[in-house]
Amino acid sequence: MSLSNSDCERRCHILVGLSAAPSNKKIIETAGRMASAFDATLSALYIADPGNNLTEEERRRLHDNFRLAESLGAEVSSVSGSDVAFHLSEYARLAGVTKIVIGRSAASKKSFFGKPSIADRLILMAPGTDIYIIPDSETTFRMHARKLFTAPDAKGLIKDFGLAFGILAAATALGYLFSALGFSEANIITVYILGALITGGVTSSKLCWVLSSIAGVLLFNLLFTAPRFSLKAYDEGYLVTFFVMLAASIFAGTLASKWKTRAKEASRRAYRTKILFEANRLIQNADTEEEILLATKEQLQKLTSSDVTVVKGAPPAARPSEKLYSVDRGGAHYATFITDIAEESFEDSIAKSIVGECRLAIDNKLNLAEKELAAASAKREELRADLLRSISHDLRTPLTTISGNAANLMTNENAFDSDTRQAIYSDIYNDSVWLIKLVENLLSVTKIEDGKLKLRLTTELMDEVVSEALTHVRFQEKSSKITFSAEEFLFVKIDAKLIIQVVVNLIDNAAKYSPQGSEIAVSVARDGDFAAVTVADHGPGVPDEIKPKVFEKFFTGENVPRRRSLGLGLYLARVIIESHGGAIDLTDNEPTGARFTFRLPLAEVNINE
Amino acid sequence: MNNASILVVEDDPPISNLITTTLKAHGYRHIPASNGETAIMLAASNRPDIMLLDLGLPDCDGVEVIKKVRTWSEMPIIVISARSDDRDKIEALDSGADDYLTKPFSVEELLARIRATIRRLSSAVTADAKFVNGELTIDYAAGSVFLAGEELHLTPIEYKLLCILAKNVGKVLTHTFITRSIWESAWESNVGSLRVFMATLRKKIAPLPDSPQYIQTHVGVGYRMIKID
């Protein structure tokens, strides 16, 4: 086992065996030092024996050993199985391991029936691999003793003994029957061996079926061999019979017990694989990142049958009994799942694949969202450019008249007669009011189109909001007669500012197209699950072919009698109403004119007395 | 009381000119101040009847001016805000302002607010056992309310609401202020309840479409009881 340089011509790969033994730390450290000396890749493998339950202290130690191996840069994996040598050699073969490092105690550990030691078998199974055995203080005796006499728990042990006792009693009863019928002793021995086989199959404690095998031999001796009811045997040949019977019983028990553990392990594996498939399906079907995290969390909970916590952002510090699985994105922590999965378990690898699936899915979702965001932002930019082009032209006109008129008044006020002056004043006033309205609408546009400023929804009474809008209009709108009628107690969840803007725009639009002094009727009414607000005028109305266009951006009617228009008011009204989950439409008024109606979903309100 | 003196705190000269010219044209006396410090000094030395206060001042936040003035004076303060965000107004109202105007405001709107404030001042609210406003009378001692001589049947919460508004007649009260006064908390569900009770109360004290509207709604901000002659 000398190391020659030719072994390391390709990059060295060192495999170290992990265990819960206290001496394992030293072995891992040694492997770490070797890895850095050879500039080798380091792997660590834990072989979990499904028939062997770890104590709390061992779990903690195992956890520490896993951490240590990771900190030394090892790729840590775990498999489930009882044949250490087989798994080590298989891993070594598959991963191209060149050197295996194990502890002396583990190397010389023999299986129950005195098969060759792990080291011997490793040399056989992995002929091309160097095996380094590191001396440690662990004694093999303790390992054996503990393995043999560890029961799952006191309750299980009592149950196992009960079962073993029952089977022995049944075997004895059957033995008596055979004896009474005059069958040969060989039949009775077979019955006892069958009993040992069943005991091994139904109980989980090794102690239990070993003791029950011995008890079976003793009972046979006591009850069925001459002299009866004594442990003595007259025939020398019985000694051989007893020994063969004991060996056969224990062997049968071992086989049955192994078969049972395998079957259990196989069903657990099948269950976990099912969880993995299910996780895959659920995560693929999830619509949002939240749903993905939730599905992952639920599958992890199923896997561990205990609570799993998911934390978004930076992960919390792990407690010793916890294992964290992080979902990273772009170098930052996106979310972390906190579980109580033990490091060594087969669950760990399943959990890793589930969390990996989750990471992929979240990555996809977020990438898609970013793309959509980019597209939306491009659309916004386009609108902003449109708006700017349109505004720069429309702003110039009123600003020119305001500044020009004011300049005239400053320089030759006395040259104008009082009527002319009055006309100039009113032009200045009207143009500035127009600018004020424009600015209000522009503010609303930025609020809606910017995407950042969300609607500030509050629960409001529809009639209150509309009457507030009317107070805004009445200060400016003196050319028309505005009437208002309302149904009360219609609650809506709205951004009041924006809805007021809609009502102002609709009234403004109505006033713009209707004759001086005509009536504009504003009404609020309930319409199914909606609050409907109608603004009806007596203007010329809107021809059918133009109706679909009025809510479009920058659309203006041809015959605007008195004022200029930017073509924003109705467009904005539609955008605002639609962003509230409502709808706006245009119908004809009787006998002439237009009726604009918007509907907003009614909100539910809890009342505290 | 048309010769009321008004302290105009505004740092933008054109707006300040507009306001003072308007006030002069309607016979009010005015004292201009262009920053918070001067405003507080003039408020203390000249004891004006009303303060018009711009929230965005060069040296300090208008809300600070309100808080300082409120430590010694109850003079009505009308806030002028260029910010269209309701939160500024609500903060100013909760700090002790009486009313608000949002730029751009019309001259008529400004004058209407000033007239309403003066009307309230001239019929100064005293700690009487009775409150009278137009046809509305509250008898605090008996816990009963009369409209044009007829007793109204109000629920306990409606009565509580009416009393809070009456004791602060002319002032805009924020939703938070009212819900805190009634339910001792300001949850969203209480704000919803407030809307309902306010609407039923309003219906009771103004039963006809042409009845005087005693309670004014300020959407997104709160309510105010108007002083009616």
Query: What is the per-residue pLDDT for B69?
Result: 93
State the smallest CA–CA distance between residue A481 and chain B in angstroms. Answer: 16
| Residue A291 banded pLDDT, cuts 50, 70, 90 | confident
Measured between beta carbons, the chain A residues lying within 8 angstroms of B196 are 489, 605, 607
| A575: Cα within 13 Å, side-chain hemisphere | 21
Q: Which residues of chain B have pLDDT under 70?
A: 1-2, 83-85, 123-128, 186-189, 209-210, 229
Q: Provide the pairing of β-strand A13-18 with A41-48.
A: parallel
Q: Are residues B80 and B136 in the same domain?
A: no
Map tokens 């107690």 to a residue. Answer: A489
Mean pLDDT computed over A506-533: 89
Share of chain A above pLDDT 70, in %: 85
Q: Are residues B111 and B11 in the same domain?
A: yes
- Residue type present at position A43: S
Query: What is the per-residue pLDDT for A146?
Result: 43
User: Could you tell me if B184 lies within 8 Å of chain A, comparing CB atoms?
Assistant: no
Q: Are residues B13 and B110 in the same domain?
A: yes
Cα–Cα distances in angstroms (integers) from residue A545 to residues A62, A541, A548, A551, in the given order: 79, 12, 7, 13
Contact A608 B183 (CB under 8 A): yes
Task: Out of B88, B122, B156, pick the residue that ends a domain.
Answer: B122
Task: Out of B105, B122, B139, pick the residue that ends a domain.
Answer: B122
Taking only the tens place, the pLDDT of each residue in A37-52 is 888 888 888 877 766 6
State the smallest CA–CA distance between residue B47 and chain A in angstroms. Answer: 32
Between A150 and A403, the more confident residue is A403
Measured between beta carbons, the chain A residues lying within 8 angstroms of B14 are none
User: Could you tell me if B210 lies within 8 Å of chain A, comparing CB atoms?
Assistant: no
In this predicted structure, the answer to whether residue A170 has a pLDDT above a threshold of 80 is: yes
State the smallest CA–CA distance between residue A467 and chain B in angstroms. Answer: 9
The domains located in chain A, with CATH, are 5-147 (3.40.50.620), 151-265 (no CATH), 455-601 (3.30.565.10)
**Across A4-121, where does the E strand assignment appear?**
13-18, 41-48, 75-80, 99-103
Q: Are residues B91 and B23 in the same domain?
A: yes
Between A500 and A564, the more confident residue is A500
For the entire predicted model, the pTM comes to 0.51
Determine which helix (DSSP H) or strand (DSSP E) holds A86, and give its type and residue range: helix A84-95
In this predicted structure, the answer to whether residue A149 has a pLDDT above a threshold of 60 is: no
In this predicted structure, the answer to whether residue A531 has a pLDDT above a threshold of 90 is: yes
Measured between beta carbons, the chain A residues lying within 8 angstroms of B193 are 605-609
Between B114 and A96, the more confident residue is B114
User: Could you tell me if B107 lies within 8 Å of chain A, comparing CB atoms?
Assistant: no
Q: Are residues B113 and B193 in the same domain?
A: no
Contact B196 A607 (CB under 8 A): yes
Query: What is the per-residue pLDDT for A141?
Result: 41
Q: Are residues B37 and B84 in the same domain?
A: yes
Query: What is the per-residue pLDDT for A562?
Result: 47
Q: Are residues B101 and B144 in the same domain?
A: no
Q: How far apart are CA A569 and CA A586, in angstroms?
A: 14
Taking only the tens place, the pLDDT of each residue in A397-439 is 788 888 888 888 888 778 888 888 888 888 888 888 888 878 8
Q: Are residues B81 and B189 in the same domain?
A: no
Q: Are residues B118 and B154 in the same domain?
A: no
Kindly report the CATH number assigned to the domain that includes residue B140: 1.10.10.10
Determine which helix (DSSP H) or strand (DSSP E) holds B139, and give its type and residue range: strand B136-139
Structure token digits, residue A177: 């029957």
Q: Are residues B110 and B16 in the same domain?
A: yes
Kindly report the CATH number assigned to the domain that includes residue B98: 3.40.50.2300
Taking only the tens place, the pLDDT of each residue in B98-150 is 999 888 788 888 898 898 888 877 765 556 678 888 888 898 888 889 988 88
Task: Out of B122, B153, B179, pick the residue that ends a domain.
Answer: B122
Q: Identify the domain containing residue B25 by its residue range.
A: 5-122
Q: How many domains does chain B have?
A: 2
Q: Are residues B111 and B168 in the same domain?
A: no
Query: What is the per-residue pLDDT for A532?
Result: 94
Q: Are residues B68 and B94 in the same domain?
A: yes
Mutate to test the interface with A, among B195, B216, B221 (most CBs of A within 10 A): B195
- Residue type present at position B209: P
SS3 B221: coil
Share of chain A above pLDDT 90, in %: 4
State the smallest CA–CA distance between residue B119 and chain A in angstroms. Answer: 21
| Residue A140 banded pLDDT, cuts 50, 70, 90 | very low
Number of neighbours of residue B223 by Cβ within 10 angstroms? 25
